[in-house]
Amino acid sequence: MLTQMHVRGLMFDPYTNAYIIILRDDSNTEMLPIWVGKPEASAISFAMEGVTTPRPMTHDLMKTVLDTADAKVISVVVTDLKENTYYARVHLLYEDSEYSIDARPSDAIALALRSKTPVFVNDDVIRKHSNEEMDRWLENLKPEDFGKSDA
Amino acid sequence: MKLTVQGVMPDAVPNSDSQVVILQDESKAHTLPIWVGLAEGTAIRLAMEGVVPPRPLSHDLIRNLTEQLGLKISKVVVTDVKNNTYYASIYLNSKQSELTVDSRPSDAIALALRTSSPIYVTQDVLDRLAPENVDPWLKMLGSKEFGGTA
Per residue in A82-106, pLDDT (tens digit) is 988 999 999 999 999 999 999 999 9
The answer to whether residue B69 neighbours chain A at the CB level (below 8 Å) is yes
Percent of chain A at pLDDT above 90?
A: 70
Tell me: the pLDDT tens digits for B38-73? Answer: 899 999 999 999 999 999 999 999 999 999 999 999
Lowest mean pLDDT across A113-122, A137-146, B47-56, B62-71? A137-146
A39 close to B (CB below 8 A)? yes
Cβ contacts of A68 on chain B, cutoff 8 Å = 92, 99-101
**pLDDT attached to residue B106:** 96
Interface test with A, best of B19, B46, B67, B107 (most A CBs within 10 A): B107
* ipTM value for the complex: 0.87
Spatial CA neighbour of B129 closest among B6, B10, B30: B30
Sign of CA dihedral A48, A49, A50, A51: negative
What pLDDT score was predicted for residue A141?
67
What pLDDT score does B129 carry? 81
d(CA B26, CA B35): 21
* pLDDT given for residue A14 in this prediction: 85
Residues of A in contact with B56 (CB under 8 A): 102-104, 107
Cβ distance of B69 and A94 shorter than 8 Å: yes
Closest CB from A62, A68, A71 relative to B62: A62
Of A55, A65, A85, the CB nearest to B104: A55
pLDDT at A127: 86
Is A65 in contact with B57 (Cβ distance < 8 A)?
no
User: What is the percent of chain B where pLDDT is above 70?
Assistant: 86
CATH architecture of structural domain B2-146: Roll (3.10)
Domain ranges of chain B: 2-146
Q: Residue B131 carries which DSSP code?
A: H
Instruction: Say which residue, A141 or B64, is predicted with more confidence.
Output: B64
- The pLDDT assigned to A145 comes to 63
For residue A104, the chain B residues in CB contact (below 8 A) are: 55-57, 61
**By the 8 A CB rule, do B80 and B87 touch?**
yes
Q: Does B40 touch chain A (CB under 8 A)?
A: yes
Residue A136, pLDDT > 80, answer: no
Alpha helices in chain A (DSSP H): 38-49, 58-68, 105-115, 123-139
Nearest CB to A103: which of B38, B61, B69? Answer: B61
What confidence tens digit (pLDDT) does each residue in B114-141 have?
A: 999 999 999 999 888 876 667 766 666 6
How much is the pLDDT for A118?
Answer: 97
Q: How far does Cα B61 stand from its chain's mean position?
A: 17
Pairing of strands A119-122, A72-82: parallel
Spatial contact of B137 and B20, defined as CB atoms under 8 Å apart: yes
* A2-145 CATH choice from 3.10.690.10, 3.40.640.10, 3.40.50.10320, 3.30.390.50: 3.10.690.10
For residue A149, pLDDT over 60 is answered with no
Contact map slice: A 89-128 vs B, CB within 8 A: 90, 92, 94, 99, 101-104, 107
**What pLDDT score does B119 carry?**
97
Euclidean distance between CA atoms A119 and A110, whole angstroms:
10
Minimum distance, in Å, between the CA of residue A80 and any CA atom of chain B: 13
Q: Which residues pair with A12 in a beta bridge?
A: A19
Looking at residue B147, its pLDDT comes to 45
| Chain B residues in contact with A53 (beta carbon < 8 A) | none
Please tell me if residue A27 touches chain B, with a CB cutoff of 8 Å.
no
Rounded to the nearest integer, the mean pLDDT of chain B is 88
In chain A, where the domains are located: 2-145
- Counting other chains too, the contacts that B10-18 makes at CB distance below 8 Å and 24 or more residues apart are B11/B35, B12/B136, B12/B140
pLDDT tens digits along A29-86? 888 999 998 999 999 999 999 999 999 999 999 999 999 999 999 999 999 999 889 9
More confident residue, B135 or A123: A123
B92 touches chain A (CB under 8 A): yes
Question: With bands split at pLDDT 50, 70 and 90, how would you rate the model's confidence at B149?
Answer: very low
- State yes or no: pLDDT of B148 exceeds 50: no
Q: What is the pLDDT of residue B74?
A: 96
